[in-house]
A and B are shown apart, each in its own frame.
Chain A
Amino acid sequence: MLQAFARRKSRLYQRYLGHREPGEHKVSEEDEITALVMGPLEYLPQDAQVLVWRTILEWHQPHPPLPFPSTAVKDTQIHFWPRNTIEPDMVVELEWVCGTRRVILVEFKWNAPLSGQDQLHRQWKEFLSDEQRKHAIHLFIAPETSSAINAISDSDIWGGRLIRRSWPNIISSLLDLRFSPHRGVSVWSVQVIHFLKLLRLDGFQGFNHLQAPPRINQDSTTIFFRRKRE
């Protein structure tokens, strides 16, 4: 579908901007966007997957928590909507040959608020085992991330390992991946950036770049814009 959006073959993305087909009431926006954006990662080689997660987590972070090692990758696993008592959107498990392991617990938001003020707290405490939590990172991606800031303010149980990324911030970090030597990562990042821009998620650009329409003076014969005569 990312290809269809990129080549302007589909306007299905409009469902994420509020458009509904006749008789259609419920759209699982968050789940569909999660699958659209993150689904292709499952098909990428392991080192390419690690590159993507490293870029998202460590972009412009001089001191990222639990930095990734630079050794070769041994194994990667992605689980979409894994369920025990609570269901995060994604869990990514990474393992390197040096023995280092990371668990990335990912929660995406689109338009909806958190499912209860303690949703992130519950994911961290209830989904992960004590052992997993030692090498885990909680990643919150949303149009804006004040919910995660408030969660930390309420009770900081993460010790710096709840990472907030707004969608505009994700676009900025993916811009670096467009020239990745991994062909799949490069294609994926270009298509995801295009998709997120279609959803107007490229962040605040300011007003001073907008082209104001010409004013029409009803009492004047002045022509403010003129079409080329045939």
Chain B
Amino acid sequence: MTSPSDLGASIAESFKFVSNVSTECEALLKLTNEEVSQMLVEPDVKEIHSASGEWMLSYQENDTGWLNTEFAASLALKQGRKKKPSGHVFVQISLMGCGIDALNNFEPLIHVGWWHDPIVFGETYMGFPIECGGDYQVELEEGVLFRWTHRAAADEWCYSLRLTDVNTLQDVKNLVVGPLKHLLLGKPVSEVLVGLPVVRYAPLKSDPGQFKVAPRR
């Protein structure tokens, strides 16, 4: 039985910890936005994609509105001289909730991807089980990249990282910016993601849309 004083101390320590985690998450999102924007002006990327407007932020609160449990930033990209955006790159940080609810996953995740629409929690966001069916089909490539196909839209994709694997600017470059750039340029997943400490998934045949996470290597 935990004593009231131990419980109280644990609550205080936990809230301090949550506050520190949220500060790092906000800083990580800002750093990621800046580095991705910088990547988009590199000559080989700029030939194909360029930013259209500003980063859009979205926050998911817990049920009581006390805590932000998920954060996301999305940036519209346009191709060539077209005025209309062709899609959005996004980074979604999920600390709890459906964004991390893949089977056997107990850790916060970062989802990095390219979707037609920006992340707006409550409407469009990465979460488990993944909604599919109808015109949308989701496939898992090499166990690491979700790829959606839709008969009316260009393909969309997303991969995941464990939050605690990203601790430095170099991690942001190696695990977010680099792979995002190469995937945007159409390089194969086997060249881009395999070998990196990204989350490895396996589909559950008994539960369509749900995926099981492999343990860390």
**In this assembly, does A23 line the interface, its C-beta being within 8 Å of a C-beta of chain B?**
no
Please indicate which of the listed interface residues B24, B75, B166 has the most CB atoms of chain A within 10 Å of its own CB.
Answer: B24
Within 8 A of A (CB), among B38-58: 38, 40-41, 46, 50-51, 53-55
- Per the bound structure, the CA–CA distance linking A168 and B169 in Å amounts to 12
Within 8 A of B (CB), among A204-230: 204-208, 210-214, 216-218, 221, 223-225, 227
B27 surroundings in chain A (CB, below 8 A)? 168, 200, 202-205
A76 surroundings in chain B (CB, below 8 A)? none
Whether the pair A208, B167 counts as a contact (CB closer than 8 A) is yes
Given contacts A203-B27, A208-B167, contact A150 B34 (CB under 8 A): no
Given contacts A149-B38, A211-B17, contact A144 B30 (CB under 8 A): yes
Interface of B is mostly: helix
Whether the pair B10, A214 counts as a contact (CB closer than 8 A) is yes
Whether the pair B2, A216 counts as a contact (CB closer than 8 A) is yes
Whether the pair A153, B50 counts as a contact (CB closer than 8 A) is yes
Whether the pair B24, A204 counts as a contact (CB closer than 8 A) is yes
A222 and chain B: residue at smallest CB distance = B2
B28 surroundings in chain A (CB, below 8 A)? 204
**Binary flags per residue of B20-41, CB closer than 8 Å to A gives 1, else 0:** 1101101110110110111011
Whether the pair B163, A223 counts as a contact (CB closer than 8 A) is no
- Per the bound structure, the CA–CA distance linking A210 and B169 in Å amounts to 17
A143 surroundings in chain B (CB, below 8 A)? 30
Please indicate which of the listed interface residues B1, B2, B20, B169 has the most CB atoms of chain A within 10 Å of its own CB.
Answer: B2
Binding site for A on B (CB under 8 A): 1-2, 5-7, 9-10, 13-14, 16-17, 20-21, 23-24, 26-28, 30-31, 33-34, 36-38, 40-41, 46, 50-51, 53-55, 75, 163-164, 166-169, 171-172
Smallest CB-CB A-B distances: 7 pairs: A206-B167, A146-B37, A213-B13, A144-B30, A204-B27, A149-B37, A144-B34
Binding site for B on A (CB under 8 A): 113-114, 117, 143-147, 149-150, 152-154, 166, 168, 200, 202-208, 210-214, 216-218, 221, 223-225, 227
Given contacts A146-B38, A154-B50, A213-B16, 10 further A-B contacts (CB under 8 A): A117-B54, A144-B30, A146-B51, A149-B51, A150-B53, A204-B31, A207-B163, A210-B20, A213-B17, A217-B2
